[in-house]
């Protein structure tokens, strides 16, 4: 029989860890002296201690180890852990790549973030604009038409609206565009306006400040960033207007967010 201190040395587990595993029912002492409360272990328990330590080093939780000891298939649990660690590795590598990009770019103009856009109810409308600048007249007209169809309609809080370009290439005229805006409830549509549920989406986000004439730089930066960091596009980029001609006098103060849905 080994005292807890000797067992600690042979098992390479601290006394604190042994008491914790005892409390969790993973490794109970072979006997406990009723007078001194000293704990004693059998040498055969060193194998159990080694198994616990090995599983813990692999990242298994106490509950997962308990499941294995209770008869669960250890290979299945380890397979799940393998998948989880692989995803974690990919996330770490992505973050390292981002950090490297930031450190290597001494004049970082754009900052990319990853976020999740929750599921929303939206109304959408499509049109072909003669020129890009017509967008600032067309979007308010869509909102007015939708409100006329649905008096009392309310936009979601926080607001969320965006445009998507459907041509598949850059065009200076006859631009096929779709506008979407989130609302609290679905309403009545017509031949121009439709309501639907926009599924939750993970996106890469970048902010462009200034004139729309220079927004191509932001798109180019975002696409290059996504490619360099192993992201796969899951939809059309979304151009979200935060500040613009409607509330800012100077083009320098216009703020646009570009979101790229990713898998």
pLDDT at 131: 86
The pLDDT score that the predictor gives to residue 243 is 87
List the domain range (segments joined by +) for residue 249. Answer: 113-262
**DSSP run (H or E) holding 94:** helix 74-104
Which of 181, 183, 227 shows the shortest CA–CA distance to 204? 227
Q: What is the mean pLDDT of the chain?
A: 90
Residues 242 and 122 in one domain: yes
- Say yes or no: 61 and 135 in one domain: no
Q: Which residue has the higher pLDDT, 74 or 251?
A: 74
pLDDT at 183 over 90: yes
Residue 55 domain-assigned?
Answer: yes
Q: How many whole angstroms separate alpha carbon 83 and alpha carbon 108?
A: 34
Domain membership of residue 57 (yes or no) is yes
Query: Does the pLDDT at position 94 exceed 80?
Result: no
130 and 208, same domain (yes or no): yes
**By C-alpha distance, which of 199, 193, 168 is closest to 179?**
193
- Residue 66 sits in the same domain as residue 122: no
What 3-state DSSP class applies to 194?
strand
User: In this structure, is residue 188 part of a structural domain?
Assistant: yes
* Same domain assignment for residues 62 and 156: no
More confident residue, 212 or 138: 138
Mean pLDDT of 44-53: 94
Report yes or no on 98 lying in a domain.
no
Let me know if residue 103 belongs to a domain. no
**Does residue 86 form part of some domain?**
no
- Same domain assignment for residues 56 and 132: no
Residues 120 and 228 placed together within one structural domain of the fold: yes
Confidence of residue 11 (pLDDT cuts 50, 70, 90): very high
CATH number at residue 27: 1.10.1660.10
Same domain flag for 64 and 180:
no
Q: Does 135 lie in the same domain as 215?
A: yes
What pTM does this model have?
0.59
Mean pLDDT (whole number) for 257-263? 94
Within-domain flag for 99: no
Of 72, 91, 122, the domain-final residue = 72
Q: Which of 17, 40, 72 lies at the terminal end of a domain, its last residue?
A: 72
Examine the domain organization and report whether 31 and 136 are in the same domain.
no
What would the mean pLDDT of 98-121 be, rounded to a whole number?
A: 76
Dist CA 181 CA 200 (whole Å): 15
Residue ending a domain, among 72, 103, 124, is 72
140 and 64: one domain? no
Average pLDDT, stretch 182-194?
94
Here the CATH number for the domain that contains residue 251 is: 3.20.80.10
45-57 and 62-69 helices, crossing angle to 10°: 140
- Percentage of the chain surpassing pLDDT 70? 95
| Same domain for 256 and 141 | yes
Distance from C-alpha of 181 to C-alpha of 170, rounded to nearest angstrom: 23
Number of independent structural domains in the chain: 2
Q: Is the dihedral of CA 83, 86, 90, 92 positive or negative?
A: positive
Q: Read off the pLDDT band of 182 (50, 70, 90).
A: very high
pLDDT band at 104 (very low <50, low <70, confident <90, very high): low
Asked if residue 29 belongs to a domain, the reply is: yes
Mean pLDDT of 12-33: 94
């Amino acid at each position: 029989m080994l005292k807890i201190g000797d067992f600690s040395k042979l098992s390479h587990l601290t006394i604190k860890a042994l008491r914790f595993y005892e409390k969790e029912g993973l490794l109970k002492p072979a006997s406990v002296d009723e007078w001194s409360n000293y704990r004693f272990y059998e040498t055969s328990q060193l194998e159990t201690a080694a198994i616990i330590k090995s599983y813990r080093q692999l990242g298994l939780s106490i509950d997962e180890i308990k499941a294995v000891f209770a008869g669960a298939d250890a290979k299945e649990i380890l397979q799940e852990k393998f998948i989880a660690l692989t995803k974690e590795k990919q996330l770490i590598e992505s973050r390292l790549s981002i950090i490297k990009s930031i450190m290597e770019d001494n004049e970082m103009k754009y900052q990319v973030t990853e976020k999740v856009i929750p599921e929303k109810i939206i109304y959408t409308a499509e049109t072909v604009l003669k020129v890009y600048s017509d967008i600032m007249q067309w979007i308010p007209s869509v909102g007015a038409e939708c409100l006329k169809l649905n008096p009392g309609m309310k936009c979601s809080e926080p607001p969320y609206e965006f445009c998507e370009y459907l041509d598949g290439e850059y065009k200076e005229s006859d631009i096929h565009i779709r506008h979407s805006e989130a609302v609290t409830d679905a309403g009545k549509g017509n031949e121009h306006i439709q309501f639907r549920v926009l599924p939750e989406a993970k996106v890469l986000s970048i902010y462009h400040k200034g004139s729309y004439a220079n927004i191509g730089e932001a798109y180019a930066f975002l696409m290059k960033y996504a490619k360099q960091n192993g992201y796969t596009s899951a939809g059309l980029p979304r151009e979200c207007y935060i500040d613009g001609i409607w509330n800012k006098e100077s083009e320098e103060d216009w703020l646009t967010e570009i979101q790229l849905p990713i898998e």
